[in-house]
Structure 1
Amino acid sequence: MLIRNKLMLRFTLLVLGIQLSFSAFVYYFNAAMRAQRFEHRLANSATLAGRLLLRLPTLETDLTHRSRRGDLLTLPREEISIYGPDNRLFYSSDDHIDQAANRARLAGLGAGRQMSYRARGWLETIGLAYPAPAGAGHYRIFVSAEDRVGRAQQERLGRLLLLANMGALLLTIAAAWFFAGSALRPVTRISQQARRISATSLGRRLPEGNGRDELALLAQDFNTMLAGLEQAFETQKSFLSNASHELRTPLTGLVGTLETALEYDTTLPEARQSITQSLDAARRLSALTNGLLNLAKVDGALPAFTPVRLDECLTQALLQVRGEYPGREWRVTFANLPTETEADLFMLAGNAELLTTALLNLLDNAGKYSAGPVRTEIAYADPHTLRLRVADEGPGLSPEELSHIYEPLYRSAGAQGRPGYGLGLPLTQRIIQRHGGRLELTSVPGQGTVAAVWLPVLPL
């Protein structure tokens, strides 16, 4: 079922339930008031009958008896029955009145008591105890009658409420259709715009309406997701373009060298030279392929993290770069270390191999480009965060180069002619992010670059 139809149905049922509850309240309140008013009229009629009949000197003359019967009956189908203190029928306005219901209630009608009940059909009856003139007990007076006017008004009220509810139901359905359409109109616009977005038009964005309600927040979330997808697609296009170029270059060189060797090399020295060139091209191709595989691997599922000491990972990385750059000076300092703890410092949850790779990439870049010593500092930024900084004295990067530095296979102008494929920093950034941290590079052209890493640590 469409959301619009669901909203209409729920809104209609809610309003209809409120209407019916209110109508039922009005109807039954009116019915109770009608019954109370008519009961009051019956009580007045019973009191009047007691005053007129029980204070007369005699009720035995037929003519007086007949005229009195006709004079006292003022309500539709009114019936009056009076029982003496000895529970015998003293007077009745009609000889054919069924006295069984009245006699059944004589015992419960004591002094000062009054009761009402439904006699038969639409007749309503009230019974009350009336004191005898001489103080000799109480008479029981029963008056029955039909409230034709009150019931006619009650029926008219019921028909009026029924018609009003039917009309209100139609108005409610129309209002529900209008308001559901109005409420879902932004969703319709979002849906129409979303259908226009494809892989070739990721620059489109969804309308955000007033920017404040829930639909606007949803559109903003979608736009943020589209921006991420657009960036991912652009990065993928750039990656594929650069990867195809980087892979094609060593492959072309390798194939060309082997073809030349096969065609023209006739001596062993010439063959050895061709083999050496082919081997260098194969090694470059292998290194590039391994870098691409590592980048894809870190984006996939990782093994479960275990407690790792970041200083040990740093030590392993320093051992490798010192062997690769023996003439470079490497300085390591520690700062802001907690003193009031017996727990192991620099402990975090992670993968030791990946963290060592990330630190090795940062140190390798610094050693590759630095003209002076490489300074590494490891410290506690706060009790829950480790900060590691690697600073070099290289040529530095421009703001434009910094904006592209995390793109796979991107190489700055200063990196041209130096070994590498532009995969180290993208791989390092993703490793740090997978460990819940962040990597930030700051650089000044001609003064060097500083790579800062923040990682969450285990509680001390």
Structure 2
Amino acid sequence: MLIRNKLLLRFTLLVVGIQLALSAFIYYFSSFSREQRYYHRLEGKAVLAARLLIRRANLDTAVLRTFRRADLLTMHQEYIGIYDEQNQLVYGLGKSLRPLPDSVYLNQIRSTRPAHFQLGGREGVGILYQHQGRSYRVLLVGQDVFGAREFAKLRLLLLVGNLGALVLIILAGWYFTDQALRPIARVVRQVKRITASNLSRRVAEGNRRDEIAQLAITFNEMLSGLEQAFESQKSFLSHASHELRTPLANLLGTLETSLAYDHDLSEARQSTASAMEEIRRLIALTNDLLALAKADDTAFRREPVRLDECVTQALTLCKTKYPTRTIRLDFDDLPEEVEDPFMVLGNAQLLTTVVFNLLDNACKYSAGAVSSTLGYADSATLRLTITDAGKGMSPAELTHVFEPLYRGESGRHMPGHGLGLPITRKIVQRHGGQLTLASEPGAGTTATVLLAAMQEVG
């Protein structure tokens, strides 16, 4: 079901429910008020009849015979009955109480408070009247014809009013849902015009305050991310094709030259060695590209890992690769509340790769000593910093350094393919951490890794 139809249905049901509840309240209150008014009228008439027939006429048979029906009958279907203490009818005038016997109603008259009765289409009251030390029960029954007619008019009015209001509610609901969903329809139309070829277009953000505007803002932020991802992908494909084309062209040229000009074994061996070197470059580039793809995978197994052991292992690997380089490791002071230091939740092999890549970059682009420090930024965050004294990078280079296959001016003559830092940052991000670089030309570079420390479970 469309949201428009859902809103219309819920709006209609809600308003109709409120309207029916109000109509039921009016109907019940009107019925109760009519009933109370009529009972009050019956009570007054019963007291009047008792005073006239019992006190004035003293229930004298000769006097009671002189009363005509029209003298007391002022209500439709009226009945007046006076009973003595033995529930014997002393005086009766009007339509009887049948089909039920009089005793059914007389037994309910037990105090001076009037008793109320429902007798099919008629209503009645009974009172206990004291006269000259004797108790009399007076029954007075009637039918509220005029009240019933007014009540029938009220029912008709409520029925017609509710049906008419239902039509108006549906029309109003349709109008308001259309007005409420119009901004969403506008957003949908604008989104449909955005394709992969024009990701720079944006959705109108309206007043930037209501929920629709917040939706548009969120969608624009998503579009910005998609546009950036597409641009990164284009840049990656461009750099990858360039990086792959160069060794392939060199390999092809070497083999063609060997086929055409190498006539003895020594020349062929030299060409084969050159071809093998280009193949090694291709293999290294392919492995780096595969590592970059694997770094996007979030499904690797996570378990408690000691980060200091990962740093020590990476340090050993780096010293093996750069045996003449000085690489120092220091530890900051530990927070007092930490019981088992340097514990993180992640993958030991990937975290070792992170540290090794950062140390390798520091050693590759710096001829001096490399220092690393492991400690805590706070009780919940581990911090690893690796600092070199190399040439450093300009602010422009820093903005692109995490792009795959990007090579800065200072690194174009160095071996590598520009994939180490992108791989490293993605691994850190997959561990819920953050990698930042701070660098100045001629002052070296500092890499900082922040990872969430594993909390102790009591």
**Interval of TM-score (by shorter of Structure 1 and Structure 2):** over 0.9
Cα distance change, pair 90–100 in 1 and its aligned pair in 2 (3 A): farther
Q: Mapping of 1:410-421 within 5 angstroms? A: 410-421=406-417
Aligned residue for 1:127?
Answer: 126
**1:317 alignment partner, SS class:** helix
Which residue in the other structure is 1:21 paired with?
A: 21
Amino acid of the structure 2 residue aligned with 1:268: L
Q: CA deviation at 1:58?
A: 6.5
Cross-structure match for 2:78 = 78
What is the SS of the residue equivalent to 2:136?
Answer: strand
Cα offset for 1:289?
0.3
Query: Is the 1:370–1:392 Cα contact (8 Å) retained in structure 2?
Result: yes
Match status 1:310 vs 2:326: no
Check whether the contact 1:102–1:142 (CA below 8 A) recurs between aligned residues.
no
Q: Conserved in 1, the CA contact under 8 Å of 2:78 and 2:94?
A: no
State the distance in 2 between where 1:153 and 1:96 align.
Answer: 26
Cα–Cα, structure 1 residues 96 and 448, in superposed 2: closer, same or farther, change >3 Å? closer
| Distance in 1 between residues matched to 2:337 and 2:146, nearest whole Å | 94
How far is the alpha carbon of 1:281 from its aligned partner? 0.3
- Rounded Cα–Cα distance in structure 1 between residues aligned with 2:363 and 2:277: 23
> Which residue of structure 1 aligns with residue 430 of structure 2?
434
Distance in structure 1 (CA, Å) of the matches to 2:272 and 2:408: 32
Q: 1 CA distance for matches of 2:168 and 2:336? A: 75
The alignment partner of 1:378 has SS state of strand
Structure 1, 278-287 or 145-154: larger mean CA deviation: 145-154
Structure 1 portions without partners, runs of 5+:
none
Q: Are residue 216 (structure 1) and residue 235 (structure 2) matched?
A: no
Q: Distance in 1 between matches of 2:373 and 2:104?
A: 105
Partner SS for 1:407: coil
The equivalent of 1:277 in structure 2 is 274
Deviation at 1:57, TM superposition (A): 5.6
Alignment map for 1:212-291 (pairs within 5 Å): 212-291=209-288
2:106 alignment partner, SS class:
coil
- Give percent identity, aligned residues only: 51
- Cα distance in structure 2, aligned partners of 1:21 and 1:254: 87
In the alignment, the residues of structure 2 paired with residue 16 and residue 139 of structure 1 have an alpha-carbon distance, to the nearest angstrom, of: 52
1:57-456 matches, within 5 Å, as 59-61=60-62, 65=65, 67-94=67-94, 98=98, 100-120=100-120, 122-132=121-131, 134-135=132-133, 137-338=134-335, 343=340, 345-456=341-452
Query: Which is worse superposed, 234-243 or 215-224?
Result: 215-224
Task: Report the 3-state secondary structure (helix = DSSP H, G, I; strand = E; otherwise coil) of the residue aligned with 1:420.
Answer: coil
SS in structure 2 of the partner of residue 93 of structure 1: strand
Aligned to 2:48: 48
Q: 1:459 to 1:18 in 2, by over 3 A?
A: closer
Amino acid at match of 2:172: A
Distance 1:96 1:181, change over 3 A: closer
2:377 and 2:60 mapped to 1: Cα distance? 113
Count of equivalent residues: 455
Kindly tell me: are residues 131 and 395 of structure 1, through their superposed partners in 2, closer, same or farther at Cα, counting changes over 3 Å? Answer: same
Distance 1:361 1:117 in 2: 97
- Return closer, same or farther for 1:341/1:4 CA change in 2, 3 Å cut-off: closer
Where 1:348 maps in the other structure, the secondary structure is: strand
Shift of 1:215: 2.8
Distance (Å, rounded) in 2 between the aligned partners of 1:351 and 1:58 = 110
- Give the letter aligned to residue 128 of structure 1: I
Gaps of 5+ in 2: none
Q: Is the 8 A contact 2:77 2:95 kept in 1?
A: no
